[in-house]
Structure 1
Amino acid sequence: MSRWRKALGWLRPLAGAAVLLGLASCAMVQVEARKPDDYVGQVRGDVLTTGALSQAGLETLRVSGLEPKQCLRALQACASQLEAVNGVSAERRMATLAEMWTGQALTHMPERGQTPDQVALDAWLRAARYAYAYLFFTERMPGERAFENRQTQVRDYYNYAAEQVGAGLFQRGELEGAPDGTAGAVQIGQWSVRTDMQDFRLPGGIARPDALVPAGMLRFSGLLSIYRRDGFGAELVARVPPGQVGDPSATGQGPLRPRSQQTPAYNEIPYAPATVLLDFQGQDLGTVLASRQVVLHPYDPYRVEQVSLNGQRVPLAGNFTAAYGLWLAQSGFARQSLRSMLGRENGIERPHLYLMQRYDPDRRIVLMLHGLGSSPEAWVNVANEIMGDQLLRQEYQIWQVYYPTNVPIAINRAQIQALVEQTLQHFDPQATARASREMTLIGHSMGGVIGRLLVSSSGDGLWNRFVAGRELDAARRQRVRERLKPLLNFSPLPQVDRAIFIAAPMRGTALAGSRLGRFLGRLVRLPVTMLARFGDVLQDLAGHDGAAAGKPGVPNAIDNLRDTDPFIRATAELPVAPGVRYHTIIARRDPQVPLEQSDDGLVPYRSAHLDGAESEKVITSWHSVQETPQAILEIRRILHAQLASDQPRP
């Protein structure tokens, strides 16, 4: 007996130590160093970026006594339990519920080209509602959490859910617009979704788009930057049905067809940026969570920068590149512009004007003219960088002229001036809007030559020079006068007060008269309608270069660009109108060559230089200098300087 007592005596301390060790192991904490590349993943990774719940979401479930894996298997029951937990802040609960329903919706994403089912839309609506509740109906307002990673994550859940709901309802054919800008409610299970279009207008005033594309799904090549504004809402691109806004495209995806006499000479591009919000009805957290009433609001991010939600002003998200890039990518301009220059079938025969955004009477106009054999694609990065600059975006709107580059310069100049004046007359008949004055003209290459003539006055000098020494009888002189004097006697476009000429052969180029230039010139065909209208009188005045070959001696645009061409020589020294400030951007391909003897491969410096220019920027580049970052920065500098020189406006 004594031996057992001794043994037990030894065991008692051991048993006590085991109990202590067991108690200690329940609260044991271990630590290990975190690698630098793990930091961002742990503090910012979430269901959208990694496919797994974020660290914040996992912690919220654990402190609520919920097992994450079981929650994901029975989400509805888990969500009900988490909503009922009292010891966890509403912020943590709403954020975690938004993330969990986002993960649930992701598991029901349809295959490409298929429409989302009701289960997926229900999950997206739940995710958006919890995110909305977190942002606007919990203890703190969004501004108080401005630097918190969790708020950025929850905003992303809301924005992505709004994108999926908006695009999904459109795919299902359930976003039919009404004339008053509203649409009847759509039932998605227990949800009632109503569309309110009163703050959004599609190009041309069309009631319903024929495509609605999430901007985040688009990847572009050929663009220097993608310009966005971070904020609240889903970034989408709306496309209107081809041909319904005066667009000369046949399908919106293939080559453009020739514009008929009935087609309007100007139109908005058929793609528009749209930012979509889902507004959940309710006045407090409880009523928002209980509500199944949702209003879908699309906004124009160019016109709306902030929205008011539950008394809070929040920035509206926006994508200012996607719509423009999608239009150019599907335009077919590259092929058609070459056909137009050569005068082949399916080219254009008259200028057309594209408005990059909805007309705004309070924004100045930047009017862009491309060069020979080119199209609006020549301005892809210039226009994108202007629209991407917040101040310039607020103060300017872009108009781009697309014109047939085979037609003689004098005819293009007259038709473009008439087109711009016609468009301004349509939008502002009384000419009182800011957009009807203080216009900035930017022209590249031959577009720069036409642009300078648009801000110059010819007086009677050109007309007198062209008829001098020609022995014409009275009838023929009268016919020539009626046809040609409007082309040779012109006044400047009065709306323009600033111009930028880029690599423009103001005095022509010897290359146009070289063997290669003459060869290309012989390939060019002029429009039959133009020949019928001007052929006889132009032949009288153009000499007999083509008469021996049995062809009318009508100069085309390449002929006009020769440094020996009578028209280019006669117009080279026309003065720019008083009051118009002008700038030049000139390219030279070899900086080792003295500036006066340099050229850009096509245009010599002495032809592009203009005395009296307010500034001259010389850039080492090939002829397409307008696409270089240096040229774009110079254009932006000039536009900013123009704004800085304005008198303060109320």
Structure 2
Amino acid sequence: MEANGACRQAKRVDRRQHVRWRAALGTSVGLLLLLAACATPVQVDRADPRVVQRELTSDVISTGNISEPTQIVLHRQDLTERFESDPEGAIVSLHRTITAGKLDPDALFALSELSFRHAEDTGNHAYYLAAAVYAFAFLFPDDPAQRPNGFDPRFRTASDLYNRGLTSGFASADRSRVLLRSGRYELPFGTIDVTFDPATARWGNLMLVDFTPADELHIKGLQNRYRQRGIGAPLAADATEAVKETGFQVAPEVKVPVTTLLRIDVSRRDLAQGHLRGKIDVYPAFEPSSVVIRGQSVPLEVDTSAAFAYGLSDPKIWRSEFAGFLKGDYFDKNRFPIDGLEPYRPGQIPVVFIHGTGSSSGRWADLVNDLQSDPVIREHFQFWWFSYSTGNPAPFSALRLRTAIEDAVHELDPQGKDPALRQIVLIGHSQGGLLAKMLVIDSGSRIWDAFSSKPLEQLTVSADTRDLLRRAAFVTPLPEVRRVIFIATPQHGSFVAGSTMGQLLGRLVTLPVNLVTAFGETIGGNPDAAILSPGSAGFGSVWSMTPDNPALKAFAAIPVSPKVSAHSIIAVEGDGPVDTGDDGVVTYQSAHIPEAKSELVVRSDHSVQANPHTVSEVRRILLLHLAEACPKGCLPPADHIAGLQR
């Protein structure tokens, strides 16, 4: 009996253990099945392509984050965590890998990006320069077979690292300037001896100084920013020359777009020994547009718009607009009224921009910025602009323009060897167009006859006054001018000038002493002559543009010389009929002239200069002028060019 009971007890224990085993087995199988249904060690998720693209293209320049190729290098060298905790130590370790063996391109790029990242975190200039050194070695290896693929995103990033490394590595303490100097500069792994000859930083006969980083200039007020991608740090420089009391010169507000390049002698041995050499070169924009580095031709990075906008940000330019209207002598008579946007270049056709009333040369900003971006126009034209007191009578401002062009041409080309200076193009906006027309007509005595019932020779006036009146009212086409573009020009007057408000503004203008004297002599000394009265507005530009002014009517009836090609760009607001339209200042009928070779109506207000249709039309006309005037180029003889080189 006891034996049987023991057996039964054992069987019950076995059954309980079996149940437990089965339960445990079931649990284990369940867990395995559950794990199989959970995430795998490697997986993918569907994502927005833009997110994936940002991950693939993110780099320290664009986002501040290390790029994926550099992360791969860190991972392979087991330096990921170390870079986060000890970036300088990680950079040293990675640097040793390229000095111990060949200059591995992957490691060079990673070192450039890591150095730049650390420099951004610490402000250490040595690491900025190191970023430039590593990037230069990556971009321009001794072995041509090691050159990076142009489709490799690292190629553009390395170029940016080099460019930004130079800008920040040579930055002043407040980062407002880039200091280009010879000297020994510290690197994390040694030093680099840099040579720079300031005398080589020239723009024509001007010295280039005071360099500002274009990358740190945010532009407002220009519609487009033009930048040629390439190698080198884009800067905006000041141009200095011996002080000239008069004569043609570069506009004082102009900032010069330049590119600085650090040519580095770098090899594995140099990096291992920790001593490098480099030479700084400075190139004005597009002089040249590309350079050769280690047998490889590469474009220079240029930011023309940044330098242009930086120069135009000078408040003095814009303050001159209202003051220049009210004060007839605002522009110093000792200052030459025409400025160049660059030094005179033989063989390039001058385009003279003439602004309108209450305006300044700065109002041409968008048009000039867009035109300068065209390589053909940039190669064959040079831009000048004319400044004047816009409240003065239009004929006298036109005389100042005529004299300035004659003097500039004589100064720049006294022997008459440059054919480009005999193909000048005038572009005038609003009143500026009236000034331009005065240079391309043969007036005879028609303007004077509308002003006075007595011939000029019979007036009782001084010799100086007689000469001034003759030169202002009796005009012939200026032979150097071959084409004119009228933009929103009141050929028959402006209804704003004839309004009560316009007449009130006209009264506020103070004419220069010589004009006050001339008008006083003419009217006071000739009571028997029926001299045209300006009424309450005075003899200023407002009166010159008043539609019922008989002198303006006589002027409007005189056609542009057939030897000069004229073009009209007319602004009309709204979508209504063109013939009855206006731009808020000038009617279509007033701006229209029958002798124009072409006429373009642009739906715009009076400030039409920056309109893209205006820009396109001006570009078309300039290219047409080039084709007709200089089909084989306007280059003067070689000896003339050589004589201008300094």
What TM-score comes out, normalization by structure 2 length? Answer: 0.82
- Aligned pair in 2 of structure 1 residues 530, 167: CA closer, same or farther (>3 Å)? farther
1:478 positional shift: 5.7
Match of 2:477 in 1: 492
List per-residue Cα deviations over 1:603-626 (Å, max 9, x = no partner). 121221111211111122211122
Contact kept? 1:229, 1:316, Cα under 8 Å: yes
Task: State the distance in 1 between where 2:69 and 2:456 align.
Answer: 91
Match of 1:161 in 2: 165
Match of 1:258 in 2: none
Which amino acid is 1:193 matched to? V
Contact kept? 1:348, 1:403, Cα under 8 Å: no
Match of 1:205 in 2: 206
1:142 positional shift: 8.8
Match of 1:640 in 2: 623
Match of 1:513 in 2: 498
- Aligned pair in 2 of structure 1 residues 557, 505: CA closer, same or farther (>3 Å)? same
Aligned runs of 1:125-164 on 2, under 5 Å? 125-137=129-141, 139-140=143-144, 145-164=149-168
Match of 2:61 in 1: 48
Which amino acid is 1:402 matched to? S
Task: State the distance in 2 between where 1:582 and 1:429 align.
Answer: 28
Task: State the distance in 1 between where 2:614 and 2:344 align.
Answer: 27
- Aligned pair in 2 of structure 1 residues 152, 638: CA closer, same or farther (>3 Å)? same
User: What SS class does the counterpart of residue 168 from structure 1 fall into?
Assistant: coil
1:347 positional shift: 6.0
Task: State the distance in 2 between where 1:452 and 1:340 align.
Answer: 21
Match of 1:543 in 2: 531
User: What SS class does the counterpart of residue 358 from structure 2 fall into?
Assistant: coil
Match of 1:232 in 2: 231
List per-residue Cα deviations over 1:532-591 (Å, max 9, x = no partner). 4554236657837479x9xxx961111100122233222212232233212101111243
User: What SS class does the counterpart of residue 486 from structure 2 fall into?
Assistant: strand
Task: State the distance in 1 between where 2:272 and 2:370 align.
Answer: 42
CA RMSD in angstroms comes to: 3.2
Aligned runs of 1:175-574 on 2, under 5 Å? 175=179, 184-185=182-183, 187-188=185-186, 190-197=191-198, 200-201=201-202, 205-206=206-207, 208-209=209-210, 212-240=211-239, 262=245, 266-268=249-251, 269-281=253-265, 286-287=269-270, 291-343=275-327, 352-463=337-448, 466=451, 468-469=453-454, 476=461, 480-532=465-517, 535-537=520-522, 543=531, 545=533, 555-574=539-558
User: What SS class does the counterpart of residue 107 from structure 1 fall into?
Assistant: helix
Contact kept? 1:351, 1:404, Cα under 8 Å: no
Contact kept? 1:97, 1:130, Cα under 8 Å: yes
Which amino acid is 1:98 matched to? S
1:204 positional shift: 6.7
Match of 1:32 in 2: 44
Match of 1:3 in 2: none
1:151 positional shift: 0.9
Q: Identify the structure with bigger relative contact order (alpha carbons < 8 Å, sequence gap 6+).
A: 2
User: What SS class does the counterpart of residue 209 from structure 2 fall into?
Assistant: coil
1:503 positional shift: 0.8
Contact kept? 1:445, 1:505, Cα under 8 Å: yes
1:132 positional shift: 0.7
Task: State the distance in 1 between where 2:246 and 2:530 align.
Answer: 33
- Aligned pair in 2 of structure 1 residues 166, 396: CA closer, same or farther (>3 Å)? farther
Task: State the distance in 1 between where 2:568 and 2:459 align.
Answer: 44
- Aligned pair in 2 of structure 1 residues 535, 314: CA closer, same or farther (>3 Å)? farther
- Aligned pair in 2 of structure 1 residues 173, 159: CA closer, same or farther (>3 Å)? closer
Which amino acid is 2:599 matched to? E
User: What SS class does the counterpart of residue 361 from structure 1 fall into?
Assistant: coil
Task: State the distance in 2 between where 1:140 and 1:462 align.
Answer: 72
Which amino acid is 1:444 matched to? H
Contact kept? 2:355, 2:387, Cα under 8 Å: yes
- Aligned pair in 2 of structure 1 residues 500, 174: CA closer, same or farther (>3 Å)? closer
Q: After superposing the two structures, state which structure 1 stretch, 300-309 or 387-396, moved more.
A: 387-396
1:235 positional shift: 1.0
Task: State the distance in 1 between where 2:58 and 2:158 align.
Answer: 12
Contact kept? 2:248, 2:340, Cα under 8 Å: no
Q: State which of 100, 105, 113 in structure 2 corresponds to 1:99.
A: 113
Task: Check if 1:72 corresponds to 2:87.
Answer: yes
- Aligned pair in 2 of structure 1 residues 289, 538: CA closer, same or farther (>3 Å)? farther
User: What SS class does the counterpart of residue 481 from structure 1 fall into?
Assistant: helix
User: What SS class does the counterpart of residue 124 from structure 1 fall into?
Assistant: helix
What TM-score comes out, normalization by structure 1 length? Answer: 0.81
Task: Check if 1:598 corresponds to 2:578.
Answer: no
Contact kept? 1:137, 1:285, Cα under 8 Å: no
User: What SS class does the counterpart of residue 526 from structure 1 fall into?
Assistant: coil
User: What SS class does the counterpart of residue 33 from structure 1 fall into?
Assistant: coil
Task: State the distance in 2 between where 1:442 and 1:345 align.
Answer: 24
- Aligned pair in 2 of structure 1 residues 305, 337: CA closer, same or farther (>3 Å)? same
Task: Check if 1:108 corresponds to 2:122.
Answer: yes
Number of residue pairs the alignment of both structures matches = 583
Task: State the distance in 1 between where 2:480 and 2:456 align.
Answer: 39
- Aligned pair in 2 of structure 1 residues 605, 543: CA closer, same or farther (>3 Å)? same
Task: State the distance in 1 between where 2:237 and 2:58 align.
Answer: 31
User: What SS class does the counterpart of residue 194 from structure 2 fall into?
Assistant: strand
User: What SS class does the counterpart of residue 625 from structure 1 fall into?
Assistant: coil
1:524 positional shift: 1.3
Match of 1:589 in 2: 573
Q: After superposing the two structures, state which structure 1 stretch, 61-70 or 627-636, moved more.
A: 61-70
- Unpaired segments ≥5 residues, structure 1: 1-9, 11-27, 110-119, 177-182, 247-261
Match of 1:616 in 2: 599
1:485 positional shift: 1.0
Task: State the distance in 2 between where 1:415 and 1:346 align.
Answer: 14
1:335 positional shift: 2.5
Contact kept? 2:95, 2:111, Cα under 8 Å: no
Task: State the distance in 1 between where 2:376 and 2:458 align.
Answer: 59
User: In percent, how many aligned pairs have the same letter?
Assistant: 28
Which amino acid is 1:425 matched to? H
Contact kept? 1:338, 1:373, Cα under 8 Å: yes
Task: State the distance in 2 between where 1:218 and 1:79 align.
Answer: 34
Which amino acid is 2:237 matched to? A
Which amino acid is 2:562 matched to? P
Match of 1:630 in 2: 613
1:158 positional shift: 0.3
1:338 positional shift: 0.5
Contact kept? 2:355, 2:431, Cα under 8 Å: yes
Contact kept? 1:351, 1:403, Cα under 8 Å: no
Task: State the distance in 1 between where 2:343 and 2:530 align.
Answer: 43
User: What SS class does the counterpart of residue 602 from structure 1 fall into?
Assistant: coil
Q: After superposing the two structures, state which structure 1 stretch, 331-340 or 519-528, moved more.
A: 331-340
List per-residue Cα deviations over 1:90-138 (Å, max 9, x = no partner). 21121111112111221232xxxxxxxxxx2221221111111111115
1:288 positional shift: 6.9
1:592 positional shift: 1.9
1:318 positional shift: 0.3
Task: State the distance in 2 between where 1:169 and 1:298 align.
Answer: 21
Contact kept? 2:425, 2:481, Cα under 8 Å: yes
Q: After superposing the two structures, state which structure 1 stretch, 431-440 or 286-295, moved more.
A: 286-295
